[in-house]
A and B are shown apart, each in its own frame.
Chain A
Amino acid sequence: MVNPRPLLAFAAMLAIHFIVGPAVSVAQDRFIIVQSTTSTENSGLFDTILPAFADESGIEVRVVAVGTGQAIKNAQNGDGDVLLVHARPAEEKFVADGWGVQRFDVMYNDFVVVGPEDDPAGVGGSRDAVAALRKIGESKAPFASRGDDSGTHKAELQLWKETGIDVGSASGEWYRETGSGMGATLNTAIGMGAYALTDRATWISYGNKAGHKVLVEGDPKLFNQYGVILVNPDKHPNVKAEEGQAFIDWLTGPEGQAAIAGFKDGDQQLFFPNARR
C-alpha cells in the first residue's frame, strides 16, 4: 500500500491534464488515415487542399507523412486507409500483391538536381540527368542521397544505374546516404556543399536554400508521378473503405484536381493534376 501523499504533485498534474484535455481533442469522429510522403506534407499541399474536402464530406483526413517505402509498409500493416505516394513500380506491386484495391494517377511534378552555386562538377544548365550524375560521380563531387527507400531515393538509384557508376562502393566517400527525409537530406547537402536529387515541390517551399540552386531540370527521366490507392479492406477489415474511396474520388475528380492546380508557392505551381477517369 503506497501512501498517496507523495503523489500530491501528480494529482495537480492530473488536474492540469483534465483542464487541458477538453481544449485539444476536438477531432471529428469520421476520419481516415492517409499514408503519404514527406514531399506532399512538407510543401504544404495537404494543409491547403484538405479543408475543402473536409467541409464538403465531413471526413477529416489525417496524414502520416513518411518516406514512400515506409508508407507502403505501414499500409500493408493496415495502418492507413489510403496510400498516396510516388514510386509507380512499387505501387503497382502493392496492388498486384493484393494490398491495394486499385491505383489511380493523381498528379505529377518533377525531380531536379540541386547543388552548390560554384558547381564543382560543372553540371549547371544540363537537361540530361544521367549525364549530369555521371559527371558528378566521375569528379567525385559530394552527393547527398536520401538512402531511405523513398520514392525519390528509388528514382535517384534508377538514374545512377543508367550512369553505370556503382554508388554503393562510393558510399561514405563522395556518396553520402543520409537515411532521412527530403528536408533533412537537403539540410545535409547544404551543410556539406553536396549535390542532391529532390522533388521540385519540396525544393520550392524549402526555406534554407543558402547558396544552393537548381542545376539540372527538364529531363523526361525526372518525371515524378504520384498515385493514390485504397488499402484493400479484404486484407484489413478495419479499413474505412467508404470514406477512403470518397477521398480518392474527390482527389481524382474535378474539385480535387482543381485544388491541386490552384496550390501555389508564390506564383509557382508545385503539382500538376493528371488524373484520368
Chain B
Amino acid sequence: MQDFASSFFLAVSLILSGDPELWSIVLLSLKVSLTAVAIAAMIGMPIGAALGVGRFAGRRALIVLINALMGLPPVVVGLMVYLLLSNSGPLGVLQLLYTPTAMIIAQVILVTPIVAALTRQVVEDLDAEYAEQLRSMGVSRLASVPTLLWDGRTSLMTAVLAGFGRATAEVGAVIIVGGNINHVTRVMTTAIALETSKGNLALALALGAILMLIAISVNAAVGLLGVRSERVAHA
C-alpha cells in the first residue's frame, strides 16, 4: 500500500522537522487527556473502592450502571457537555465552551466509569483474598481500602492506562465541545479528522502514527514509574 509507506515517511519527517504546529497539537492532546485521566482517577478510584468493599442497597445496580457507562458513546457525552456549557445551557455563564477545559470535562465523564469499574473489580478480587486476614488483624472495612488500593496498584495502573487510551483516542466528544479551533482546541484526533475530511489521507495516517507513538511513550513511562514504585515499596 503506497499510502502506508508514504504515511510512515511523512510521520518520521514530521517528527524530525519539529514542526511547532504539530508540537502544540501534541502537547495540547497530552495536557487535555492527562489532566482528564488524573481527575477521573481521583473520582473513579474512591467510587470503585466503595463499590468493591461496601455492602449497601443498590450496590449491584450501581455496578451494572457503571459497567454500562464504560460504553458511553463519546458523541453523546460531547452533546451532553455541549448542552450544559452552551450559552443557552445551565452552565453557559462559565464561558467554557470551545476551551480545553470543556474537552477535559467531557473526557473526565468518559474515563471515570472505566477507572471506577476496573477499580471495583481489582478491589473486590483482592478483598476476597484479604478480607479474613485483615479482619483478623483488627483492620476495619473502611481502613482496609487504602491497603487494597495500594496492594492492587499494578492492576489499577492498567485501569488508568485503559482510561488514558480512551481519552486520547476519542474524537466525538472533543470535536463538539472543543470545536477543533486551530491553536486553541485542536488535538491529535480532531486534526486527524480534519485532514481526513480534506482528503489528505497520508497526513492523517501520519498523525495517527504519531498518536500511537505518544500512547506507547506514556504507557512505557507509566510502566517505568510502576517498577520504581515497586522498588520504593520494597525498600
Task: Give me the interface of A with B, judged by CB distance under 8 Å.
Answer: 1-3, 5-10, 12-14, 16-17, 20-21, 23-25, 27, 33, 38, 41-42, 46-47, 62-65, 74, 76-79, 180-184, 186-187, 205-209, 236, 238
Q: Choose among A16, A24, A47 the residue that contacts B28 (Cβ–Cβ < 8 A).
A: A24
Which residue on chain B has the smallest CB distance to residue A1? B146
A184→B197 contact, CB < 8 A: yes
B86→A78 contact, CB < 8 A: yes
A97 to chain B, nearest CB (A): 15
B198→A13 contact, CB < 8 A: no
A13 partner residues in chain B, CB cutoff 8 A: 34, 37-38
A238 and B199 CA atoms in complex are apart in Å by: 36
Choose, from B10-18, B62-70, B127-135, B222-230, the stretch at the interface: B222-230
B27→A63 contact, CB < 8 A: no
A184→B30 contact, CB < 8 A: no
A6 and B233 CA atoms in complex are apart in Å by: 11
B198→A205 contact, CB < 8 A: yes
Question: Known contacts A1-B146, A9-B226, A14-B38; is A187 also within 8 Å of B92 by CB?
Answer: no
- How many residues does chain B have at the interface if contact means C-beta atoms less than 8 Å apart? 50
A184→B226 contact, CB < 8 A: no
Contacting A at CB under 8 A, from B136-172, are 145-147, 149-150, 153, 156-157, 160
Q: Choose among A3, A10, A205, A238 the residue that contacts B38 (Cβ–Cβ < 8 A).
A: A10
A238 and B209 CA atoms in complex are apart in Å by: 40
B45→A2 contact, CB < 8 A: yes
A47 partner residues in chain B, CB cutoff 8 A: 182
A208 partner residues in chain B, CB cutoff 8 A: 199-201
> Top 5 nearest A-B pairs by Cβ distance?
A183-B197, A78-B87, A3-B146, A208-B199, A64-B179
Question: Known contacts A10-B42, A184-B196, A207-B200; is A63 also within 8 Å of B183 by CB?
Answer: no
